[in-house]
Structures are given as structure tokens and as C-alpha cells.
């Protein structure tokens, strides 16, 4: 009975000057082609299943407790700050929630200097209270803290320092949760929250929804009072860095998402 060596791809031939390798040309039979086609379809299906699994398998930590019906997670941060599981205006971790200009407590149809809180002109160069010379931090009791005014209790907006702690002490992974792009933030104790890539609003337009995230802090930039500190991320930045970044370059008029904290 003839036996065929199916696993050898080359045949070694001894010559007078040494060894040479001659490719073996195997004739494909109809059965072989059918087998290879079936294996190819199986591999493609498995690859597809693996991709789906990666996108849909993300899980975040269950809330450690609730304040006024809103859950929070203790990420094990040195400050003891606990982060909400959802954005203001959202019911699920992957929901975008509302878009709020800095110091404002309600979403609106258009985000401009002309209707921006505390702005005295239509160019964003004159301010009444938060002008860089006086107040530079929104107090939870000021009536302008987006988190406190919407959720009550002891909820409040995070400060720039607290955003930086989140960036410095946690690991971050760009991923999906139920089909929504965003960041999985995992704290020192292994617990996690999800920040959806909600983008922002400028005027009446949405910007980079599903591609980037912008989360407001309560902290104003004192030297450029039309800007405030916030946490920002997108897939391209995270592919080159291990964490989001805290920026002082976000215009106060932009509509952004807010993730509350409690102590």
C-alpha cells in the first residue's frame, strides 16, 4: 500500500556539493479542497466569535452602596473617593447621560457663549463670579454643581485633583460595553467602572460621539478662565499611552458628561 507523507513540505536530496531542498508539489483533490474550505469557514467563524466575545464580555463591579438611589464603587483609591457607576442623566453604566456646560445643571439645545453660565459677553472673555481672580472651584453647595443639583445627597462633581488620582492610580482599557465604546477603569483593589465615549456638544452639534470621552471637573483654569479641567480619552491616544489625560483646555461652553463622586 502506498503511503503518502502529508506533513513534509520539502524533500532533501543529497548531492555532490551538499544539500538542496526541492519543494514538493502536491496535487489537490476535490476532497482536499472541500476539507480546506470547511476549515477556513470554521476558522473565520471562530475568529468572529472571539471578536464578539471580547466586545460583549466586559463586566464592571457591582455597586458597593447607594446614595439617593445612585450606585457607587470604591476603587481603592488613596483619597477614599468613591466613583458613581453612571453619568448624570444615565440609568446604566454604558449610557451617555446628559451634556452639561460647566456650572450648569440642565442639558440644553445649544451650547454657546451667549447662553453660557457666568459669561458676560458673547465671546467668552468676561466673567462675573468664576473669573480667574475670585472663585476657581465650584462648591457642592453653590447651586452650580451638576452632580449635587441633579442627584442630591452628598454627590458632587470631581475636582481636577481627583481626576488626576483616577488617572494615576488606575489602569485603563479601551473597550466596549454592550456595544458602546468607552474606557474600563480598574482601581488598585481590582474593582472597576466604565466611562462611555460620549463625545461632547458645541453649539447644536455633537462631536466625536463614540470616539472620545470628555468628563468635566469642578475646577476652573485660573489663568484662562474660559477653560476648565476635565478628563479626556480616545482610542488613538490610549493606543500610545497607558491612561487618559487631565486637560485644562476645555471651553466652559461645551456640553460634556459628568461622573459624580462621594467621599
Query: Could you tell me which of 130, 153, 9 has the C-alpha nearest to residue 71?
Result: 153
Mean pLDDT of 8-16: 30
Give the chain's mean pLDDT.
81
Q: What is the pTM of this model?
A: 0.76
How many secondary structure helices (H) and strands (E) does the chain include? Answer: 4, 14
Cell, residue 240: 500610545
Beta bridge partners of 261: 83, 156
State the DSSP H helix or E strand holding residue 137, giving kind and residue range, or none if neither: none
Per-residue model confidence as pLDDT tens digits over 64-109: 999 999 999 999 999 999 999 999 999 999 999 999 999 999 999 9
Per-residue model confidence as pLDDT tens digits over 176-190: 999 999 999 999 999
Beta bridge partners of 171: 186
Amino acid at each position: 500500500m502506498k503511503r503518502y507523507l502529508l506533513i513534509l513540505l520539502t524533500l532533501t536530496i543529497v548531492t555532490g556539493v551538499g544539500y538542496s531542498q526541492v519543494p514538493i508539489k502536491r496535487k489537490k483533490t476535490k476532497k482536499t479542497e472541500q476539507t480546506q474550505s470547511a476549515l477556513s469557514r470554521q476558522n473565520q467563524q471562530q475568529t468572529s466569535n472571539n471578536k464578539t466575545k471580547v466586545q460583549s464580555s466586559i463586566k464592571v463591579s457591582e455597586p458597593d452602596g447607594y446614595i439617593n438611589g445612585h450606585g457607587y464603587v470604591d476603587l481603592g483609591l488613596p483619597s477614599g473617593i468613591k466613583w458613581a457607576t453612571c453619568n448624570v442623566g444615565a440609568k446604566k453604566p454604558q449610557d451617555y447621560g446628559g451634556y452639561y456646560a460647566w456650572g450648569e445643571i440642565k442639558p440644553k439645545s445649544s451650547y454657546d457663549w451667549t447662553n453660557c453660565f457666568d459669561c458676560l459677553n458673547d465671546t467668552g472673555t468676561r466673567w462675573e463670579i468664576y473669573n480667574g481672580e475670585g472663585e476657581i472651584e465650584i462648591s457642592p453647595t453653590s447651586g452650580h454643581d451638576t452632580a449635587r443639583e441633579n442627584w442630591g445627597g452628598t454627590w458632587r462633581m470631581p475636582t481636577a485633583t481627583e481626576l488626576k488620582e483616577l488617572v494615576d492610580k488606575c489602569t485603563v482599557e479601551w473597550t466596549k460595553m454592550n456595544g458602546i465604546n468607552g474606557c474600563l477603569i480598574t482601581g488598585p483593589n481590582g474593582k472597576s467602572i466604565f466611562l462611555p465615549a460620549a463625545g461632547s456638544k458645541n453649539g447644536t452639534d455633537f462631536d466625536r460621539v463614540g470616539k472620545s470621552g470628555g468628563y468635566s471637573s469642578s475646577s476652573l483654569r485660573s489663568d484662562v478662565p474660559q477653560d476648565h479641567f476635565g478628563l479626556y480619552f480616545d482610542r488613538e491616544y490610549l493606543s500610545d499611552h497607558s491612561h487618559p489625560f487631565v486637560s485644562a483646555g476645555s471651553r466652559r461652553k461645551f456640553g460634556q458628561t459628568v461622573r459624580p463622586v462621594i467621599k
